[in-house]
Chains A and B, each alone.
Chain A
Amino acid sequence: MAFTVPKEVYNGKINQVEVGKDQQVIFGGEEVLPFLSFEGKAVSNVPLALEIQDIDPGDWAPSLTDIYGPVMGNPAEWAKLCQDEFKADMICLRLTGTHPDNGDKSPEEAGKVVEAVLSAIKVPLIIFGSNHTEKDAAVIKHVAEVAANTGSIIGKAQEKNYKTFAAVATAYNHKLVALSDLDINLSKQLNILLTQSGFDGKNIIIDAMSSTLGYGLEYTYSVMERIRLSALQQNDAMMQMPMISDVGEVTWKIKEAKATEEEQPGWGAVEPRGILWESLAALSFLMAGGNLVVLRHPKALATIRKTVAEF
């Protein structure tokens, strides 16, 4: 029997999304499983964002503060460093300082940070709240307006606050990250709620809830694979949004990325271990269908960029 290339027939494709103003970035648009260009139009562009915060986070690992220390607490400088020095395709600004337990900064204070960051960079901006559903809704109302018509990505809309997010994303022309709880049905449900509220599904980016190696990676991985399969095979329009992987935050808080060799003899050098932890988490999610990745370490960014170029 002769060998024939085992190609799949797909019925659907992934939405293509365009973001930014001065320097636009396009992602999504693939028609086959991740990077399988032998069977059709595959993912070709995976934008890699570096994460910054509105305040000095205070608890980042030395592997990160060694790099960002001087600019932490100055979001505009921090953003510029990531763009110019580390060649991030996008900047992801997480407004952790707005969390009620972490400074409780007002929407107006957050708005000033957004404004400063936007004027410091040309690449597109991702704006995330502090993962406090009520406060995020209040903050996003204001900062989305500050960033009006910059084609930014805002998030994360969740079941409890999606209406506010959808309204401001539409009013000020932003794309929306929709976060659900590690479950394909919940993810689909949220997309349905968003579109039923009048939001254009073409402007949604799915966050299936990221995790990292040893901390639930297999759940995220399989949920993402299943979302991709139902988008492509079943042509399910509510699953055809590009997916974002927010891996920096979940990776750099775990022991395996932070513990020094003295603290954990037998685990090897801490810096490359952390970088690899982040890189492998990002890579796994790209294998499972991710389109856009948020990272913290510039070397993880460089490694993933080089890998993606080989596909």
Chain B
Amino acid sequence: MGLTGIQIFKYLPKTNCGDCKFPTCLAFAMRLAAAQVRLDACPHVSEEGKKILNEVSAPPVRLVKIGAGDRVIETGDETVLFRHEKKFNHPPGLALAIADNLSDQEIEQKVQEVNNSTMERVGQQLRVDLISLQDKSGDAARFSQVAKKVAGLSSAALILQSLKPETMKAALIETAARKPLIYAATQDNYSQMAALAKEYQTPLTVYSDQGLEALSDLVDKVTAAGVEDLVLDSGARSSGKMLSDLTQIRRAAIKKKFKSLGYPAIVFPGEGESDPLMEAVRAGIGIAKYASLIVLNSIRKEALLPLYTLRQNIYTDPQQPMQVAENLYKVGEPAADSPLLITTNFSLTYFIVLGEVENSKVPSWLLVADSEGLSVLTAWAADKFNAPKIAKLVKKQNIEEKIKHRNLIIPGYVSVLSGEIEEELPGWKVLVGPREAANLPKYLRDMA
């Protein structure tokens, strides 16, 4: 249970040495109680104090890592229920399910799909991070052989799905170095599965579809057996059950500090579903509401791009707008006499303006100014988008070499800047564009 600052203070050295960057131990204790700092910022706590305080300062949802090397997937470690309160920390990992009874060729194809799943958006590389290998053959030798093969073909993190401890062991022997997630410990097999997770130092999924109370009881048994890195599956497969179980698990962890459910959760939105649209929409529920791992049956590009984008949107920092890099961007194949427009680097502004310039079908140059991620009017009001900055940028980007004409189109909302920019940039003419980007296609076409 959470301690107050005063309670925490009792376990600190009380020397007020300041090494934690706080003036007093009490100030540090207060921040720790609010989960704003980590205990290891104080180098002087006694071992005993550490033991007690680590327990209470642990995040309400445990951080669980799956995979090895540069493909470690971090899940959990969430502290709030709503994204406007504070950034959600770890976007849910997407996995592709692969059954071990497919032909080797089909399996290779699916692994290739995962390997080729990377897409870029707003400077981020987005991809399917895991492969979930499913024991459909019922044959331990086949399962472990496929596990080995998949591990060799892809550096994605692995989930091993079999309820049979012998089968799991056979696959772990081949893949333990990759720190796969074991799926799953159930009421029937948990002591053997827990033993395997301990032996091979891997995270473990705990599965019970008998309600969250049964699930939490099972978690207690598994943690009593000494395994701490857990992932939860409540067996929810329909949209309604998924939403309600995921919400209850996350709420119990965060609001009630209920440790037995303080772990990331895994969902299977496509299980028993033949319509890929439905699978993707259910995955969307998981993205919005508290899933940490999402295992998909199909990862066609037309579904991945919207899912990646949704995930990126939900998991952005509400205090830090998404930004694109300051640059001179080409829209279409602009020539030296194509129009030149300027805007700010708030990703929303950029994407809207880019979209409308594309709609105009007029090849153009789009100059994006670093406004620290602020929209046009906000940046102008905050003095992050002003004449000196714009003039400097035009010079920095060597625009006068790339473009013959000397006309700069500025957003209509900042028409007041036009005189000043012309003063800063001798020889240039500022054209005031429309206020709304939606009117850009007409504006550009009329100009051409």
Interface residues of A (CB under 8 A from B): 1-6, 35-38, 101, 213-219, 221-222, 225-226, 229, 253-256, 266-270, 272-273, 275-277, 279-280, 283-284, 287-288, 299, 303-304, 306-307, 310-311
Contact = CB atoms under 8 A, between A and B. Distances in A.
B119 A213 contact: no
A306 B278 contact: yes
B252 A218 contact: no
A311 B351 contact: no
A231 B120 CA distance: 38
A101 B442 contact: yes
A310 B244 CA distance: 11
A280 B305 CA distance: 11
Contacts of A255: 355, 358
Contact of B83 (A6, A221, A283): A221
A256 B312 CA distance: 15
B84 interface: yes
B281 interface: yes
A225 B281 contact: no
Nearest to B442: A101
Contact of A215 (B82, B261, B351): B351
B302 A273 contact: yes
Contact of A35 (B213, B243, B284, B352): B243
A218 B244 contact: no
A266 B310 contact: no
A276 B258 CA distance: 36
B212 A272 contact: no
A3 B258 contact: yes
B90 to A, nearest CB: 17
Contacts of A35: 240, 243-244
Nearest to B289: A287
Interface string B308-328: 011011101010000000000
Contacts of A225: 82-84
Contacts of B281: 276, 279-280, 283, 303-304, 307
B240 A3 contact: no
Nearest to A299: B277
A216 to B, nearest CB: 5
B248 interface: yes
A158 to B, nearest CB: 14
Given A222-B318, A273-B305, A310-B238, A6 B310 contact: no
B348 interface: yes
B297 interface: no
B300 interface: yes
B313 A226 contact: no
Interface string B166-199: 0000000000000000000000000000000000
Given A3-B261, A222-B318, A276-B280, A256 B288 contact: no
Given A256-B309, A283-B284, A310-B240, A6 B256 contact: yes
B306 A273 contact: yes
Contacts of B240: 35, 37, 310-311
B216 interface: yes
A272 B313 contact: no
A284 B277 contact: no
Residues of B in contact with A, size category? 35 or more
A148 to B, nearest CB: 33
B301 interface: yes
A301 B447 CA distance: 40
A213 to B, nearest CB: 4
In order of increasing CB-CB distance, the 6 nearest A-B pairs are A268-B302, A268-B301, A273-B302, A310-B239, A6-B251, A311-B240
A272 B251 CA distance: 34
B14 interface: no
B306 A277 contact: yes
B348 A216 contact: yes
Contact of A279 (B212, B216, B277, B312): B277
A4 B119 CA distance: 42
Contacts of B258: 1, 3, 6
A266 B244 contact: no
Contacts of B119: 266-267
Contacts of A299: 277
B445 to A, nearest CB: 13
Given A268-B305, A284-B310, A303-B277, A226 B84 contact: yes
B351 A280 contact: no
A214 B288 contact: no
A268 B277 CA distance: 14
Interface string B71-104: 0000000000011100000000000000000000
Interface in B254-277: 255-256, 258-261, 275-277
B216 A36 contact: no
A219 B284 CA distance: 17
B257 to A, nearest CB: 10
Contacts of A226: 82, 84
B415 interface: no
A273 B370 CA distance: 32
B244 A272 contact: no
5 contacts: A1-B258, A38-B244, A219-B348, A279-B284, A311-B240
A184 B252 CA distance: 28
B247 interface: yes
B239 A311 contact: yes
B301 A284 contact: no
Nearest to A273: B302
A5 B248 contact: yes
Nearest to B116: A266
A90 B275 CA distance: 25
